[in-house]
Amino acid sequence: MDIIIDIFLNSLVPVFLVAGVGWLLAHFYRPDVRGLSRVSLAALIPCLIFSTLISTRIDLLESGRMGIFCGVVVIVSGLFARLAARLMHLDRSATIGLMLVIMFTNVGNFGLPVIALAFGQEALAQGTVYFIFMNLLMYTVGIALVSSKQVDLKAILVNMLKMPAILSVFVALLVIAFKAEVPKPIMSAVDMIGKAALPVNLLILGMQLHQYRLNPTRLVWVGVVLRLAIVPLSVLPVIRLLGLSGTALQAGMLQAATPAGVSTTILAAEYEVEPSFVSNVVVLSTLFSVVTLIPLIALI
């Protein structure tokens, strides 16, 4: 019982408190959430990725296994969602909406802060690797899934390579490969910006959740259960088969169990794929993740 209380107070309560502050800011001050999100994506997250990869010096082979695990999680999530859609006789739009919200999770705004609080800096580096692969899949497979037109794969890849977060990975890998020494003033500045990423992203999460209105249906609850319980339990044997252990196992499993990603609401709205349903799953899976993550953290 003590460990459950400890996990709740030290790993999850701070996350929800900061997100709650973001919700209150959105309610009373109406800040520019989109502008703040762009700042995070263009500066905060890339600096966090760069400083984390440089300071931790992650093993490339282990990173590859983490990438494979991320891919497996996305595939398994899609299969479960597809099966549920068939059993419930959903139409094409509802099926795609269910697959989208189960496959792509909130590994950035939510997953990284929880990992940092629960498992520390080394696990945060592993969680960052998962975050990178999840974004690669969301902006390729995710867009292909929701687009009803022919997908311009070349344009998607070009735009993805222009993303600051992806560029920061390439720069970090070059520094590691050539064993280069980053000048201390530059590294200090990058570290300062990177350290702002986790709290700011939680504020953004709270602000984004404020925008959505709840209308839970049976399908919404199916999505929440699939995302928070069925998928994480089903992929636990996979991470062990891949040989991931220690902080890699902790970070990988926690990322696999994160709630539905806020970014899926943007794709759902842009491509008109059940935006109300997707936003409801995002909100409820975020709120109920406190129930599922406590036993998971205790287990791993």
Q: Please give the pLDDT value at position 226.
A: 97
Listed residue (107, 102, 94) closest to 78, CA to CA: 102
Which range, 159-163, 215-219, 221-225, 241-245, has the best average confidence (pLDDT)? 221-225
Q: What is the pLDDT of residue 149?
A: 63
Q: What is the CATH number of domain 2-291?
A: 1.20.1530.20
Model confidence at 5, pLDDT cuts 50, 70, 90, reads confident
Q: Domain-by-domain residue ranges, the chain?
A: 2-291
For 184, other C-beta atoms within 10 Å of its C-beta total 8
- What is the reported pLDDT for 150? 63
| pLDDT at residue 176, as a whole number | 85
In this prediction, residue 3 carries a pLDDT of 81
Q: Which of helix, strand or coil describes residue 262?
A: coil
Q: Cα separation of 160 and 182, whole Å?
A: 25
The predicted model gives 184-199 an average pLDDT of 95
Q: How many residues does the chain have?
A: 300
Structure tokens, 176: 């590691």
Question: Mapping DSSP to helix (H, G, I), strand (E, B) and coil, where does residue 105 land?
Answer: strand
**Tens of pLDDT, residues 130-186:** 999 999 899 888 988 988 666 666 777 777 778 898 899 999 989 988 888 899 999
Cα dihedral across residues 195, 196, 197, 199: positive or negative: positive
Average pLDDT, the chain: 91
Mean pLDDT of the region 121-138: 92
Band the pLDDT of 55: cuts 50, 70, 90.
Answer: confident
Q: What is the rounded CA–CA span in Å between residue 19 and residue 204? A: 7
Distance (Å, rounded) from C-alpha 203 to C-alpha 214? 20
pTM over 0.75: yes
Residues 6+ apart with CB under 8 A from 237: none
The confidence band for 56, taking pLDDT boundaries of 50, 70 and 90, is confident
